[in-house]
Amino acid sequence: MAGYKVEICGVNTAKLPLLTNDEKETLFQRILDGDQEAREQYIKGNLRLVLSVIQRFSNSSENIDDLFQIGCIGLIKAIDHFDVTQNVKFSTYAVPMIMGEIRRYLRDNNTIRVSRSLRDTAYKAIYAREGILRRTAKEPTLMEIAQEIGVSKEEVTCALDAIQTPVSLYEPIYTDGGDPLYVMDQISDKKNLEENWVEDISLREAMERLPQRERNIIDMRFFEGKTQTEVADEIHISQAQVSRLEKNALRMMKNYLS
C-alpha cells in the first residue's frame, strides 16, 4: 500500500475535525431526529478512526485511497446501526465495523478463487465474531463462533483459512536495522534435505573452503533444513548475523563454483 499521505481521496487528513464528547452526543441526537447535516458532520468528525484502521493494513498492496473509501463505508454503517442505549463508546463499536468492511473488500478482491459455500461460512463466522465481541466485550473462542453459526469448529477453521490473503515468500517480517528477515527464512524444509545435495562433490569442495562457522551455518540451513532463527539460537548469535554470514558464504561458494 502506498505510504501515508496528507491528502486521501481529496480529503486533507491533517485538518480533519476532532469532536468533543458533548459534540458527539449532540450530533448523534440530531442524527436520530433525521438531521442529514448532523450526519455529515458526525462522519467527518470520525474520519480519524478510518485513518487509524487503514494504517493497520500498511502491508496490503491495495491503494490507500481505495481502502479509505471502503473504511468510510464501514464508518457510515456503524453510524447507521449504533445503539446509544448500549452504553458503549462509538469508537469501540465502529472500529471493528470499519476493519470488517476493509477485510471483506480485500477478500473479495483476492485473485485466488474460493468456493461460494466456504466464503459464506467464513463471512458468517466473521459476523458472528464481531457480534459476540460487541455483546461480551471479549474475543470469542472458535467453538463459540461455530456454535453461533451452527457448524463445526473444523468447518470454521477451513473456511477462514481459505479466504486468507496469500503472503509472498519475500515479505519482510522483521528487521533490526540490518538485513531483513523474510517469510522464506522462517520456512523449514523437512523433506528435501541432504539427499538432494550430497551427491554434488563440487558443492562439498566449495563448502570445505568456508570458515568453520559459515560452513556450520550452510550445513544447518540447507542440509538440516533449519530456519535462520533456529540456527541463531543454536550457535548463540542474532538472526541478522546469521543472515549476513549465510549471504557471504553463498557468495564465496558461488565464486568458487563458477
In the prediction, which pLDDT does 147 show? 92
Cell of 234: 543454536
β-bridge mates for residue 181, sequence order:
174
At 164-191, the pLDDT tens digits run 665 555 555 555 555 556 655 555 555 5
DSSP E strand stretches across 204-257: none
The sign of the CA dihedral 128, 131, 132, 138 is: positive
pLDDT at 102 over 60: yes
Q: Do residues 226 and 220 make contact, with C-beta atoms less than 8 angstroms apart? A: yes
What does R_g of the chain's alpha carbons equal in angstroms? 26
* 0.85 surpassed by pTM: no
In the prediction, which pLDDT does 153 show? 85
Q: Is 145 exposed, middle or buried (0-12, 13-18, 19+ CB in 10 A)?
A: buried
Taking residue 245's Cβ as centre, other Cβ atoms within 10 Å add up to 21
In the prediction, which pLDDT does 254 show? 81
Cell of 104: 471483506
Cell of 221: 540451513
The CA distance from 169 to 82, in Å, is 41
Q: Which residues contact 171 (CB under 8 A, 6 or more apart)?
A: 59, 182, 183
5 three-class SS: coil
β-bridge mates for residue 8, sequence order:
11
pLDDT at 225 over 50: yes
pLDDT at 196 over 50: no
DSSP E strand stretches across the chain: 7-8, 11-12, 172-174, 181-182
